[in-house]
Each structure stands twice: as structure tokens, then as C-alpha cells.
Structure 1
């Protein structure tokens, strides 16, 4: 069993005319994830600078909690093609205050 917390962070791009629709379509998933065991935070948001970019941030107590939610996540159907993705999963072995 992996005791490390997990962060998924990154972004993806879509047609700028569809971006807000993509973000809105994930609203239910975000609400459910935040209620899921082991989810500290999850956000899928419109980037304030790039009109095609959607930012993704997830913070989970463990890989097991992440995988348990993914098994029942039921993400929205693809609204528009994803143009590019930059997303990474990070296992946290140590953390502390940022300042």
C-alpha cells in the first residue's frame, strides 16, 4: 500500500468556443469528487489568460482513493476534441508550508 498523497496537475486545450461548455460539463464530477473519500480537492477551471485552456488540479489522500473514485467517476461525454494535454501525477513524500 502506498502511503503517499497524490496530486494530478496540468491542463488541456480545446476549441476556445467550447471551453466554457467543457468546464460546465465537469461541474457534477467536481462536486462528486469533492465528496468522495480521500479527496482533499479537485478543480477543473477555465484559464484566465488562454481562452482554449482548461486547468486541472486534483489532490488525493492516496492512490487507492484516486483509483476508487475513477472507477465510478462517470466523466461527461467528450464535447469537443482535446487539442493538447500537459498533465502529470505526483506522489508526495514530503510537504510543508509554502512561505
Structure 2
């Protein structure tokens, strides 16, 4: 069963770009991991302090293996709010049609 972790975090608007940039190496390393289908940590185009998070994993085991060795971000920016959920996906298909 695939796993998706998705949502949003909020930081001070003036710190958002530094927060995203500070996760660059983590994103690069994660995308190379077995079982990682995708990972994105990106600035929201509408809300100045919002960062969108998206992780797609082949399995809970692959996610757990990454979390066990994942490095800390290269930046210390306070998250003021977060709304992130983990979803276990039983089936997937084309979004249209």
C-alpha cells in the first residue's frame, strides 16, 4: 500500500524562502532513497508564509526507513502552524476519465 504525506506548514513570510532552501539537500537525498516516489517542499504561490509538503512512498516500510536516517534540515526556522496528514492509499488511477 502506498503512503502519501501531504499538507502545509506556516513560517514567518520573510523566512519562507530560507526555510525551503534549507531543505534542498534533504529533498535531493530523499528522492534517491529506495521507495521514495516523490518529495516536494515548495513555497505556496498565494500565501506568503505557507510551504506545501508532499511525500509519496511505495510503502510504510520505505517511509520508516527514511525517517530512521533522515538528516535534520540545514536551517532553523520556526514553524508557526502545520496541517500535515499521512494517507494510506489502497488504490490509484488516472485523475480524469
Q: TM class by shorter-chain length?
A: over 0.9
Is contact 2:5–2:84 with CA below 8 Å preserved after alignment?
Answer: yes
Q: Which runs of 5+ in 1 are unaligned?
A: none
Q: CA deviation at 1:76?
A: 1.2
Counterpart in 2 of 1:85?
A: 82
The TM-score normalised by the length of structure 1 is 0.93
- Number of residue pairs aligned between Structure 1 and Structure 2: 96
Q: CA deviation at 1:81?
A: 1.4
Counterpart in 1 of 2:94?
A: 97
Is 1:6 equivalent to 2:3 in the alignment?
yes
Equivalent residue for 2:13, pick from 13, 16, 34: 16
CA distance in 2, matches of 1:80, 1:45: 15
Q: CA deviation at 1:80?
A: 2.0
Is contact 2:5–2:85 with CA below 8 Å preserved after alignment?
Answer: yes
Q: CA deviation at 1:75?
A: 2.1
The TM-score normalised by the length of structure 2 is 0.95
Q: CA RMSD in A?
A: 1.0
Q: Which runs of 5+ in 2 are unaligned?
A: none
Counterpart in 2 of 1:34?
A: 31
Is 1:51 equivalent to 2:48 in the alignment?
yes
